[in-house]
Chains A and B, each alone.
Chain A
């Protein structure tokens, strides 16, 4: 158990456990699923797990830098969603599939 400020009702550890669980769900989805859209969902889940960490520690340290940083994470998530969906649309238009293991044109 971490030392918690007396006025913080929820221990900071709880945020970390929740964040770890959400992050692992996202990472597992990323590794296991084939559908490009589910991979984007997993990415959003992992970014949200990071946000929970930042907000929890911001409250714990009584400092607003963590909360400010969440805004930037959200901005990057929005940019990533826009570009990712554009790539998905372009791929679907050209290949008629969204299963990522079928995109092997470059033999990577």
Chain B
């Protein structure tokens, strides 16, 4: 019973934080609401007894990824965008209506479906007996999913290299920086010069 009450509280807070995150005009405020949502999701992982994932959710998501966002937002000066139009003028009401419709569809489908547990055997008692959630989790990960795990490391390496290449300052062959200022349209002559 306690778990159900806590679940409802965290779920409502998570959804409210999510709604706040995508509606804020100020990007930093939206980011903080997003971190709030992630912390609530971590609490739900705790309630589900996925302790390792709850900690990873806090450390990696709310910690590392969101700090990366904060750094980039602070590097770019985004205050000027708060005065601009925040939504797509032509599609916002249609998009909102369609979203509500899809949510209603989800609810209708979920209300009519019944799931049967596969009884995989990893009950909380069995996990506690086998040496704790993190140990069992790690054994399952490295026994069944070793190859995907290694592939994920390659994906992360590719993303890292790609991110560095994307933000590297462009240089011409002679080592000079490019001949037009960022933000203004390059003149055809400048483009030709660079090529």
- Chain A residues with CB under 8 Å of chain B are 1-5, 7, 9-10, 12-18, 20-22, 24-29, 31-35, 37-38, 40-42, 44-45, 48, 51-52, 55-56, 58-65, 67-68, 70-72, 74-83, 85-90, 92-99, 101
In the assembled complex, the Cα of A90 lies from the Cα of B178 at a distance in Å of 14
Known contacts A32-B96, A82-B159, A85-B163; is A5 also within 8 Å of B110 by CB? no
In the assembled complex, the Cα of A9 lies from the Cα of B3 at a distance in Å of 6
Interface range, B side = 35 or more
In the assembled complex, the Cα of A24 lies from the Cα of B68 at a distance in Å of 25
Known contacts A3-B115, A85-B68; is A26 also within 8 Å of B85 by CB? no
Q: List 21 A-B contacts (CB under 8 A).
A: A2-B114, A17-B106, A21-B11, A22-B15, A24-B102, A26-B18, A31-B99, A32-B22, A38-B27, A55-B48, A61-B119, A62-B118, A62-B120, A62-B122, A64-B120, A65-B144, A67-B50, A74-B61, A79-B155, A85-B72, A95-B183
- CB-CB < 8 A to A88: which residues of B? 72, 76
Q: What does the 1/0 interface line of B11-31 toward A look like (CB < 8 Å)? A: 100110011011100010011
Q: Is B128 an interface residue (CB 8 A)?
A: no
